[in-house]
Amino acid sequence: MTQLFADTGVWVLLSFVIFSVFAFRFGKDKFLAKLDGRIAEIRTEIHTAETLRAEAQELLAQYKDKQRDAAQEAKNIVAAAQNAANEINMKAQADLDEMMARKEVQLAERLKRMEEAAKAEIQAYAAELAVKATAEIIASHLDAATNSLLIDATIKSVPENLSKAA
């Protein structure tokens, strides 16, 4: 056994064991407290990271919802604008059709009035020609004696015609 104590390896081992026991006995509480503190810090960091991750996912979901709502609202605005444009186009077409119909009626009435005026003018001209032709025919075939008889007869019939007219 003396040989055992003479060996340096045994003394190193024995010193190490004694140091380990003292270190374990006196440093165990500090070491465990430090480990517990570090574990608590890690747990706090993990909890904070999980909380931040959950908040980020919630924000992402909210932004996705907002994006989806904005896209739907944009589609609705485009559809409403298209409907309004279609309504305006239809109203403009209806107004144009109505205006064209009015113009056609006005032109038809104007043409009718022009036609009636032309007919009246032609009739007046024809009547004037007929009167002139009749006057010329009568003047060429009527002698002075017959003319004076016609004038006398006409003068005598004027009072009768006036009383009939009144």
pLDDT score at 7: 80
pLDDT score at 95: 93
Mean pLDDT by 10 residues, the chain (166 residues): 74 90 85 91 96 96 95 95 95 94 94 93 88 80 74 81 68
- Rounded-to-integer distance, Cα 47 and Cα 26, Å: 33
pLDDT score at 1: 59
Spell out where the chain has E strands. Answer: none
Please state the three-class secondary structure of the chain as a single string: CHHHHHCHHHHHHHHHHHHHHHHHHHHHHHHHHHHHHHHHHHHHHHHHHHHHHHHHHHHHHHHHHHHHHHHHHHHHHHHHHHHHHHHHHHHHHHHHHHHHHHHHHHHHHHHHHHHHHHHHHHHHHHHHHHHHHHHHHHHHHCCHHHHHHHHHHHHHHHHHHHHHHC
- Plot region of 143 (φ>0 → left; ψ -120 to 50 → alpha; else → beta): beta
pLDDT score at 132: 86
Compute the radius of gyration of the chain from its Cα atoms.
64
